[in-house]
Amino acid sequence: MFSDDSTLDFVSSTDPYRRELLAHCYRMLGSLDDAEDLVQETYLRAWRAFERFEGRSSVRNWLYRIATNACLTALDHASRKVLPSGLMDPGDDPYSPPPSADADVPWIQPMPDALVEPESQDPAAIVTARESVRLALIASLQYLPARQRAVLILREVLAFPAAEVAQMLGTSVPAVKSLLQRARAALEEAAPSTDHVLEPSDPQARVLLERYMEAFEKSDAAALQKILA
């Protein structure tokens, strides 16, 4: 049984990462509903294992490892959702797939802006706040095999070192680099049409989006760091 002190220690150690873990699971799954479920699963697994946590990595890295592997397991069993062929009417419910959607194309559920307002200057929170970005990028991720998607997000979006990503996924650094290379090639080949793009309405957000996308496509780490600073 956990003591009250252990419970307080767990909450204080893990709760600051809940919002960014929600964004991470959303990027992996493309569904806010599923992401919320997986965050709950992540915290349940972390709670059960907390007394055995030895501090060999940071709590944040440990939680990301649990969340990423939970998402990979879910993706092994999940059926794909459908993506609308164009932007929906403002009166439609954006969190449900439209009845006319093509069942062969994944549907990516948008994340409400209220859930991604940054509480700090953490890079992951800033990236999350810019998720009034193109759903096309998220949609492209849905075309990647799960492990390629995980590596792309952990390396390119969250900027985890290759060695830490390898540890999270139980693989080697060369394998991580190979997965990232294949993921980038697949994204370049499977870039969605502009009909599937949901542009941010704020002009400043558009500028940030274009800068981010350009740096992302060029693998320009320095530019990404500057944007996120």
* pLDDT, tens only, 156-184: 878 899 999 999 999 999 999 999 999 88
**CA angle 37–41–46, rounded 5-degree value:** 150
Residue 56: the pLDDT is: 82
pLDDT class of 199 with cuts at 50, 70, 90: low
Higher pLDDT, 88 or 77: 77
Q: How far apart are CA 134 and CA 85, in angstroms?
A: 14
Instruction: Quote the domain boundaries for residue 49.
Output: 4-88+97-228
Judged against a pLDDT cut of 70, whether residue 26 lies above it is answered with yes
Tokens of 95: 């969190």
CATH number of the domain residue 164 falls in: 1.20.140.160
Judged against a pLDDT cut of 70, whether residue 73 lies above it is answered with yes
Which string of b and e fits 133-143 if b means at least 16 CB within 10 Å? bbbbbbbbbbb
Residue 38: the pLDDT is: 95
Q: Structurally, how many domains does the chain consist of?
A: 1
